[in-house]
Structure 1
Amino acid sequence: MATVMEFTSPVAEFPLGSVFENLPGVTVELERLIPHETLIIPYFWVRGADTDDMEAAFEPHAGVSNIRLIDSIEDEYLMRAEWEQEYFGILSALAEANVVVLSGTGTKEEWRFEVRGESQETLAAFREYCQENDIPIAITAVHAMLPIQGEGYELTETQREALVLAYERGYFDSPREASLQEIADEIGITQQSLSSRLRRGHHRLIGATLSSTS
């Protein structure tokens, strides 16, 4: 059965974390990872900084060969980077392991990840890789994917919790009866983490119910 593991990792263990040294107020959200020959190509959203500042903050990092702006939506910027695969850290572990990154959000305090494995054995192999390569992770939760009302699509427990609570508290009403921050406080996570869970939950639901490409 597909299983989800949530874990945290120190900022310094993830290459994108270097941005917090010069821009401590930003939030970085991993969009996806693409292994390519000798490179690992992460796409990620950055909030709370100008694009010029972001490029300058990332460029000095060891192993980075290219970084550029892909898209922007209001004050959020989608960036693309290229890291040499020999760089050791959680980025290499995620790229090498047979896991799917559901979410990855970084602040100056830490990185928080949700990854999905096809089985608990897959996640055990990921943990073993991290241990063998001295990559510190702190596991905070492990749980099975949940089917929604017998349909052929699934949400993580955290995505379902966020969507249901936002609905029950009136976040989707017009006018809204609850703010994103109020719901995040109730769950006990940051506003950025809640925004990520809602967006990814919407993506999975729409892909499974409305999109012809699902």
Structure 2
Amino acid sequence: MTSIADIEIPADGTGLSELFEAVPSLSCEMERVIASNGHGLWLSGAAQEELEEALADASAIGEYSLISSEGDRWLYDIQFDPDTLDVFEVVLEESGTVLSASASNRSWLLSIRFVDRESVSTLYDRLVDNDVSPTIVRLFDVTEETHSQCGLTARQYETLVAAIDHGYFEIPREVSMQELSEELDISHQALSERLRRAYRALVTSELNVSEEETTAPPIPTN
């Protein structure tokens, strides 16, 4: 049974430890990047010059390159030194999928999907063996009840998970709707309708909006 674990990991002992030492106000958010040799990480919390100076001085970071910028944050392709604990690689080796990852205040918070709870336990033990002290903030199994709590049907949930796994929501997209529909063996139109219904269900559930409130008032004609 699929399990979702939210795990907090101290930055000490990971690839960002030295960056937090140099830039205590650092904030970091992971983003998957096409054709990346390392990890796509959005960095913020300081001026670009200060961030790049910290990147250059960090022995745990092998190479880095600027990919994009957005306001006062910058997206870098970062490769960690082989001797540094790469938490993302450890997760992959334990058959986990990182759904989201962010770091601030010298701590990572990762939301990870596992095939079962045993994989969660194995990852936990591996981190401890590497002198990292993880904290499991939340752990739950994905069931039909979980779907319904979000207002999703099982098929809508599975479609959204497939869309995430194949990079449909990435910028730019890693897969087209046509390619995703072929992967799911449904028509392009059926996929489009299923996604729209899933979006509506999620927004309605998360914002606690009633069906009456989602009915738009008529648009004035003059």
Larger radius of gyration: 2
Within-5 A mapping of 1:169-208: none
1:87-135 deviations in Å (ceiling 9; x for gaps): 2363553353221111111112422111111111222221222233332
- Provide Cα deviations, 1:1-55, integer angstroms capped at 9, x if missing partner: 2111111111213212432222222310122499x9xxx7121111232322211
Look up the match of 2:155.
Answer: 151
- Tell me the distance in 2 between the aligned counterparts of 1:111 and 1:161: 26
Counterparts of 1:88-167 in structure 2, within 5 Å, are 88=85, 90-145=87-142, 146-147=146-147, 148-153=152-157, 164-166=205-207
CA shift, 1:163, in A, is: 7.7
- Corresponding residue for residue 15 of structure 2: 15
Tell me the amino acid that sits aligned with residue 12 of structure 2.
A
Distance 1:163 1:68, change over 3 A: farther
State the number of aligned residues: 163
Do 1:13 and 1:90's aligned partners in 2 also have CA atoms closer than 8 Å?
Answer: no
**1:20/1:163 CA distance change after superposition, 3 Å:** farther
Let me know the Cα RMSD of the aligned residues: 3.2
Q: Residues of 2 paired with 1:14 and 1:90: CA distance? A: 7
Q: 1:84 matched to which residue of 2?
A: 81
Percent of counterpart pairs with the same letter? Answer: 20
Greater fraction of residues in strand: 1
State the 1:167 CA deviation. Answer: 5.8
Q: How far off its partner does 1:69 sit?
A: 0.9
User: What is the TM-score normalised by the length of structure 2?
Assistant: 0.61
Partner of 2:31: 31
Q: Structure 1 pair 164/6, CA: closer, same or farther in 2 (3 Å)?
A: same
Unaligned runs of 5+ in 2: 162-200, 215-222
How far has the Cα of 1:86 moved from its partner? 2.6
CA distance in 2: counterparts of 1:162 and 1:110, whole angstroms: 29
Alpha carbons 1:10, 1:111 under 8 Å: kept: yes
